[in-house]
Structure 1
Amino acid sequence: MSKVVRVGVGVIIKRGNQVLLGERIGAHGSNTWATPGGHLEFGESIESCAAREVLEETGLTVVDVKQVGFTNDIFEREDKHYITIFVEARCDEGEAQILEPHKCKQWQWFTWDNLPKPLFIPMVNLIEENTELSTSKS
């Protein structure tokens, strides 16, 4: 079977000056912190994928979804390669629930200047490539 590059969508959910991150378990990136997100389905828009994945993983509804960048993520140990498209969205109410306990241990809100470690490879790459994100407070 030939190897393929998959497309992932990561959703930076903002509430005030905080972002929502989950502690991953399972597949790749186990025990790292990441935004909600997942695979882009055939024929799906980036924005629809973002809203669907957030709802499936956290039960939250997001608004004002906009694209902010992408990363080229190679997981050597797991032999996987992703292009991750990052979007930013707002969620002004509700608490994140653990709706996929086989994929996420917990959800927590963090400020950009106090992110947990270790971060999921796509998050690390995004922050390294977009230093203005770490200073974004809106």
Structure 2
Amino acid sequence: MTAVINSAAGVRVGIGVFVCRGGRFLMGRRRGAHGAGTWSVPGGHLEFGESFEDTAVREVAEETGVQIGNVRFGAVTNDVFPGEGRHYVTVWMLSDHVAGEPAILEPDKCTDLAWHDFDDLPEPLFLPWRQLVRSPHFDAIRRELSAAR
């Protein structure tokens, strides 16, 4: 059986943010219907008129209370969720941890937070993460974040 995609909902833009500290990056276990139980970096939806950088700063602060800086573009993935009838373009941003200890400030969206690196990724990964790992941009992101140790 073929899943029905709700094209009337359109394509949304999601922002995923690598928050880097000491060669590791922050990840959370997702909660809710969209990717529940999977792991990804903090992030959310691009709001009308907002830059990718502004979205990254806002979403990380709202979700974790952490302040970030040196926010920069990392990659983009095209993510279709057939079972949910959703389609996202995910813009992956890289950033440096500036201040604050991570806390779960939106418990309806995240159940766990932890620092990881590419050698100890938690499972299962959120679909856009799996797309990122297969993308031609992944090695460049991995090199840049690993060099920050």
Q: Answer yes or no: same fold by TM over 0.5.
A: yes
Provide, for residues 62-85 of structure 1, a one-character-per-residue CA deviation record: whole Å limited to 9, x for no partner: 000000110000111111000000
- Aligned identity (percent) is 45
* Residue aligning to 1:18: 24
Q: What is the root-mean-square deviation in Å for CA atoms of aligned residues?
A: 1.3
Distance apart, 1:124 and its partner CA? 1.2
Gapped regions of structure 2 (runs ≥ 5)? 1-5
Q: Is the 8 A contact 1:25 1:102 kept in 2?
A: yes
Q: Is the 8 A contact 2:68 2:99 kept in 1?
A: no
Amino acid in structure 2 at the alignment position of 1:26: G
Distance apart, 1:106 and its partner CA? 1.1
1:8 to 6, 14, 30: 14
Runs of 4+ in structure 1 deviating by more than 2 angstroms, as ranges, are 133-136
Distance apart, 1:134 and its partner CA? 3.5
* Residue aligning to 2:142: 134
d(CA) in 2 for partners of 1:131, 1:5: 23
SS state at 1:77 partner: helix
Matches within 5 A, 1:1-138: 2-129=8-135, 130-132=137-139, 133-135=141-143, 136-137=145-146, 138=148
Instruction: Return the TM-score normalized by structure 1.
Output: 0.95
